[in-house]
Amino acid sequence: MNKSIEPHGLVVVGGGPAGLTAAHEAARNGLLPLVLEQGARVGGIGRTEVHRGYRFDIGGHRFYTKVPEVQRLWEETLGADFRLTPRLSRIFYDERFYQYPLDIWETLRNLGPVRSSAAVLSFTAARFGRRQRDDTFEEWVTNRFGRRLFETFFKTYTEKVWGIGCHEIRAEWAAQRIKDLSFGSAVRQALFPKRDDGPKSLIRQFHYPRLGPGMMWERLAERVVALGGTVETRREVVGIHHRGGRVTGIVVRPETGEARTIPVERLISTMALDDLILRLRPEPPAHVVEAARSLRYRDFVQVGLVLRRPTVFADNWIYIHSPNVRVGRIQNFGNWSADMVPDPATSSLGMEYFCNRGDATWTMEDDALVRLATEEIETLGLARRSDVSWGTVIRQPKAYPVYDADYRRHLDTIRAWLPALENFQTIGRNGQHRYNNQDHSMLTGLAAVHRFLGENTDPWEVNTERSYYEEQRVTPA
Ligand SMILES: Cc1cc2nc3c(=O)[nH]c(=O)nc-3n(C[C@H](O)[C@H](O)[C@H](O)COP(=O)(O)OP(=O)(O)OC[C@H]3O[C@@H](n4cnc5c(N)ncnc54)[C@H](O)[C@@H]3O)c2cc1C
């Protein structure tokens, strides 16, 4: 273990969960990290934004993991502020709430006799009919659940999230996330419903910091500093120089003032893979640059609404399947932690719009977005327009790495070239183009540092089994 490297001998790009975990582990082992975060606050997509005292996640962030060292780090960092929260999250469709995974009796009751008979018939036909092709999301779900259930509970939400038709999404996406339900088990579930399906602790409750996920990452940044590391915000890394198979320096641009070059002994990056490849100097080979340019992302706009009423709905969040509104999911932050909302006579919602940078939603003026969200909450029948006191808009670029038909090939091309830089590692969600949760990002951070400390670990090989994966989830986290 080399404990004698100079200050700035380890630079970490990005102060999100992956970067801060790496920095903390490095600092604990005597390597003094310099963390450079382009944003105004740490936490990455797991940050908490504060407007007029109201706290907003970027979507809600549950803290769950199967990995003891991750759980321990969370508990050590927050102590009593790391709390268990009861979970309730349902689908809202046609002014009714549906449990997910679907409860057969509730679904039939809510749909009414005509639509539920049609759903049962199409489900039965799908199970006993001749199976069609099974290549796309649409085919996979329709073959197993029937067209009626596909159209009611899968199609609209999935298309809102990804912005492309279900016939363009590969079946693997569905197969990974939706539990296939045999006809026999559907009948069994209907006749003898199980009260509790799945690991109770994870499905019915989850951990959440008292002041939102940002609290975790702000505290971890403080711990890094207390151990001798440095965390600087509003510092964007705009260039990475390399020579002879080693990163030699990075170019850092502060929010105001001149860019400067910092010599680097070792570099860990959590920036998105496409940015990374395009900022390397000299440029990597053309096929690697081409692969980087081909990676795609889905972006995200959240409209925070503050309402003059203490409750809106009982859930932490709800999925909006109705095709007549653009909103895809609604967070109810006071139900995550009462301390997210400074005035208990009010509620704060996060209206989530999945979009692409530059499209009509992304470029809409903030006022117009607040008006849209206000209209939609009334259209849905969840609150009145007049209940809304004020709103605020948060834009999150590159919220989701997209798994399109070609992403694996592009990723493999980039991955095959990166070991050319021996003192460099890329980790985290967009750093590995990985649709992950915070615990996975943290594990890649630990693996990167352990590798620099001489252990035989590889952040790309972080065992996904160890990172908690919630079966039957059709919805993105
Ligand atoms: C809507 C939504 C809901 C989610 N819900 C959950 C959940 O319930 N539970 C859960 O565990 N996970 C959830 N996730 C996933 C979670 O947010 C990510 O797994 C986690 O934030 C990834 O951490 P990271 O550090 O790898 O990346 P990021 O969070 O993306 O952090 C990367 C950081 O690097 C910085 N950066 C990038 N480029 C540069 C540069 N050039 N210079 C300087 N800084 C740079 C960025 O500003 C950012 O702060 C959710 C994600 C989304 C989009």
Residue 190: the pLDDT is: 57
Ligand 1 atom with least separation from CA of 44: 49
Choosing from 63, 205, 301, 438 the residue with most ligand 1 atoms within 8 A of its CB, the one to mutate for a pocket test is 438
Ligand 1 atom with least separation from CA of 352: 1
Choosing from 61, 161, 262 the residue with most ligand 1 atoms within 8 A of its CB, the one to mutate for a pocket test is 61
In this structure, of 16-25, 155-164, 204-213, 282-291, the range with the lowest mean pLDDT score is 155-164
Residue 179: the pLDDT is: 66
| pLDDT tens-place string over residues 413-424 | 999 999 889 999
CA proximity to 57, closest of 360, 390, 399, 415: 399
Side-chain-side CA neighbours of residue 126 (13 Å): 25
Residue 470: the pLDDT is: 41
Query: What are the E-state strand segments in 189-296?
Result: 205-209, 230-232, 235-243, 246-254, 260-263, 266-269, 280-281
How far is it between the farthest Cα atoms of the chain? 74
Average pLDDT score over residue span 445-457: 96
CA–CA gap between residue 93 and residue 401 (Å, rounded): 27
In this structure, of 109-123, 219-233, 394-408, 424-438, the range with the lowest mean pLDDT score is 109-123
Ligand 1 atom with least separation from CA of 39: 47
User: Percent of the chain having pLDDT more than 70?
Assistant: 89
Per-residue pLDDT band at 178 (split at 50, 70, 90)? confident
* Residue 202 Ramachandran class (φ > 0 left, ψ -120 to 50 alpha, else beta): alpha
Look at residue 237 and tell me whether its pLDDT is greater than 70: yes
Per-residue pLDDT band at 395 (split at 50, 70, 90)? very high
Residue 468: the pLDDT is: 45
| pLDDT tens-place string over residues 301-321 | 999 999 999 999 999 999 998
Look at residue 154 and tell me whether its pLDDT is greater than 90: no
Per-residue pLDDT band at 455 (split at 50, 70, 90)? very high
Burial class (CB in 10 A: 0-12, 13-18, 19+), 86: exposed
Residue with the larger pLDDT of the pair 261 and 123: 261
| pLDDT tens-place string over residues 459-477 | 999 975 554 444 333 344 4
Residue 198: the pLDDT is: 43
Please report which helix (H) or strand (E) contains residue 396, including its range: strand 388-401
Query: Which of 136-150, 172-186, 288-302 ranks highest by mean pLDDT?
Result: 288-302
Domain residue extents for the chain: 10-46+69-78+209-295+404-466, 102-196, 297-401
CA proximity to 39, closest of 16, 7, 8: 16
Residue with the larger pLDDT of the pair 430 and 129: 430
Which residues have C-beta atoms less than 6 Å from ligand 1? 13-19, 36-39, 44-46, 58-62, 236-237, 270-271, 275, 300, 399-400, 428-430, 436-438, 441, 477
Neighbours of 163 (CB within 10 A): 15
Residue 155 tokens read as 């199609």
Average pLDDT score over residue span 42-65: 96
Residue 149: the pLDDT is: 87
Residue with the larger pLDDT of the pair 103 and 252: 252
Ligand 1 atom with least separation from CA of 427: 26
- State the fold for domain 10-46+69-78+209-295+404-466: FAD/NAD(P)-binding domain (3.50.50)
What global pTM score does this model have? 0.91
**Which residue's alpha carbon is at the smallest distance from atom 49 of ligand 1?**
44
Distances (CA, A) of 377 to 198, 386, 474: 32, 11, 23
8 A C-beta contact, residue 74 and residue 63? yes
* Ligand 1 centroid to residue 29 C-alpha, Å: 24
| pLDDT tens-place string over residues 219-228 | 999 999 999 9
Query: What are the E-state strand segments in 58-201?
Result: 82-86, 89-93, 96-99
Which architecture does CATH list for 297-401? Alpha-Beta Complex (3.90)
| pLDDT tens-place string over residues 340-359 | 999 999 999 999 999 999 99
Residue 463: the pLDDT is: 72
